[in-house]
Amino acid sequence: MNSLTSRNNRTGMTMALVAAAMVGLAFASVPLYRLFCEATGFGGTPLRVTGDAPGAVSATAIGVRFDANIEPTLPWRFEPVQAVVRIEPGARTTIAYRAKNLSGRTTTGQAVFNVTPEQAGKYFSKIECFCFTEQTLKPGENVDMPVVFFVDPKLRTDPTTRDIDEITLSYTFYPVETGSAAG
């Protein structure tokens, strides 16, 4: 009987560990998926780079269109300073988005982003972006938020992307609950 109880205890502990691991994996799946997408460009996610752009190459220029959206509960106005630019692949490019807090209280938002067409995401590299951190705006505050990026020249040699003439970089800002009653 002692051997049976010992086996049941081991089985019970193993199942409890498996269940705990599954719960832990469920909580970790969103950040792990985000890291995977950022590292590979999967799902139209632009790559985040720490170096600089390789430099413009003599290739056909590509248009980059900028899109801005806000989750309706965030009381901001958010828009690109310019709607479209034409750039040479490899050239370091800086553009800006403008945000204004329309409320009478301090609010915080976090932007999520993607690139379309989706297959171009792995060639769109961000050097600097407001989307890497939360943004807090005081009542009525108006800010310009830069994005520094380049489109990898390899876009023009990949059979699935070489005919792309325009890429859209889209952001959506969502409110972030800060836990404080900022006024």
Question: What's the mean pLDDT in 163-168?
Answer: 95
pLDDT given for residue 102 in this prediction: 97
What is the domain extent for residue 79?
44-175
The answer to whether residue 181 is domain-embedded is no
The answer to whether residue 27 is domain-embedded is yes
pLDDT given for residue 8 in this prediction: 82
User: Is the domain of 10 the same as that of 74?
Assistant: no
C-alpha distance from residue 33 to each of 28, 40, 49, 85, 133 (Å): 8, 11, 18, 30, 18
C-alpha distance from residue 46 to each of 19, 63, 148 (Å): 34, 16, 12
Task: Report how far residue 136's alpha carbon sits from residue 177's, in angstroms, rounded to the nearest whole number.
Answer: 11
Ramachandran class of 61: left when φ > 0, alpha when ψ lies in -120 to 50, beta otherwise: beta
Residues 125, 154 contacting (CB under 8 angstroms) = no
User: Is the domain of 52 the same as that of 123?
Assistant: yes
pLDDT given for residue 44 in this prediction: 45
The answer to whether residue 183 is domain-embedded is no
User: Is the domain of 74 the same as that of 13?
Assistant: no
Query: What is the percentage of the chain residues whose pLDDT exceeds 90?
Result: 62
Question: What's the mean pLDDT in 7-12?
Answer: 84
> What value does the mean pLDDT of the chain take?
84
The answer to whether residue 100 is domain-embedded is yes
Does pTM surpass 0.85?
no
Q: How many domains does the chain have?
A: 2
**Of 52 and 106, which is predicted with more confidence?**
106
pLDDT given for residue 5 in this prediction: 84
Q: Please write the tens of the pLDDT for every residue from 10-66.
A: 888 888 887 777 777 665 654 555 555 555 555 445 555 556 656 656 668 999 999
